[in-house]
């Protein structure tokens, strides 16, 4: 049985960018529903008891497994998202990821503009990501439940742009939410830990 992973901080820790009210719906209802759905979907199948990453890898791109993929990937994406954020985060990175941003984007300011623009431009529901691809850093976006690791990319950080991630706090101002996450919440320590 899959269980809802605990948040790595209190539900009000990301305020004022992400309120405890948003966390109560986004984590407490949406994330929990993906867990409940997946448990029901894999019961009695070859995926019962399998690791989340294995389920995602074996169901990606298979129309007859779309429901299993979507719920498994959304559990993974949301867990990764919660860890991509921290209170008093954001701003310029440190450590190896800072050096790689310099090498891949020509500096933090260029990277920040690309991350914001790419994430905001995701049409409909989805995600903005910082990934390692072929030894360099790239900014990519994915729609719905898609995850970069099914395409051979290693995720370092993500920003959720499904409307339930920001609508209670920012209404239709997706760009304001994305910029606030980048400037005030990104967890660069987590990004460094995810480097291959």
pLDDT tens-place string over residues 39-65: 999 999 999 999 999 999 999 999 999
Q: Per-residue confidence at 26, pLDDT binned at 50, 70, 90?
A: very high
Percentage of residues of the chain with pLDDT beyond 70: 100
pLDDT tens-place string over residues 160-192: 999 999 999 999 999 999 999 999 999 999 999
What structural domains and CATH numbers belong to the chain?
A: 20-84 (1.10.287.990), 95-194 (3.55.40.20)
Give strand pairing partners of 157. Answer: 130
Percentage of residues of the chain with pLDDT beyond 90: 99
Q: How many CB atoms lie within 10 A of CB 114?
A: 16
DSSP of 102-142: HHHHSSHHHHHHHHHHHHHT--SSEEEEEEEETTEEEEEEE
pLDDT tens-place string over residues 131-157: 999 999 999 999 999 999 999 999 999
To the nearest 10°, the Cα dihedral for 191, 31, 173, 118? 40
pLDDT at 42: 98
Give strand pairing partners of 34. Answer: none
What mean pLDDT comes out for the span 77-106? 97
């Amino acid at each position: 049985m899959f269980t809802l992973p605990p948040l790595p901080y209190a539900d009000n820790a990301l305020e004022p960018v992400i309120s405890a009210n948003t966390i109560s719906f986004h984590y407490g209802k949406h994330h929990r529903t993906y867990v409940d759905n997946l448990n029901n979907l894999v019961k009695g199948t070859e995926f019962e008891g399998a690791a989340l990453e294995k389920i995602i890898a074996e169901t990606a791109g298979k129309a007859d497994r779309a429901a299993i993929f979507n719920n498994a990937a959304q559990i993974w994406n949301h867990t990764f998202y919660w860890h991509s954020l921290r209170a008093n985060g954001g701003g310029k990175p440190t450590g190896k990821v800072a050096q790689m941003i310099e090498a891949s984007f020509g500096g933090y300011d260029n990277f920040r503009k690309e991350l914001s623009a790419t994430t905001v431009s995701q049409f409909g529901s989805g995600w903005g990501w910082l990934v390692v691809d072929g030894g360099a850093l790239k900014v990519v976006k994915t729609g719905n439940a898609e995850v970069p690791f099914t395409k051979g990319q290693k995720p370092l950080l993500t920003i959720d742009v499904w409307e339930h991630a920001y609508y209670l706090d920012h209404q239709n101002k997706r760009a304001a939410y994305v910029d606030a996450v980048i400037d005030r919440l990104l967890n660069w320590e987590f990004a460094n830990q995810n480097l291959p």
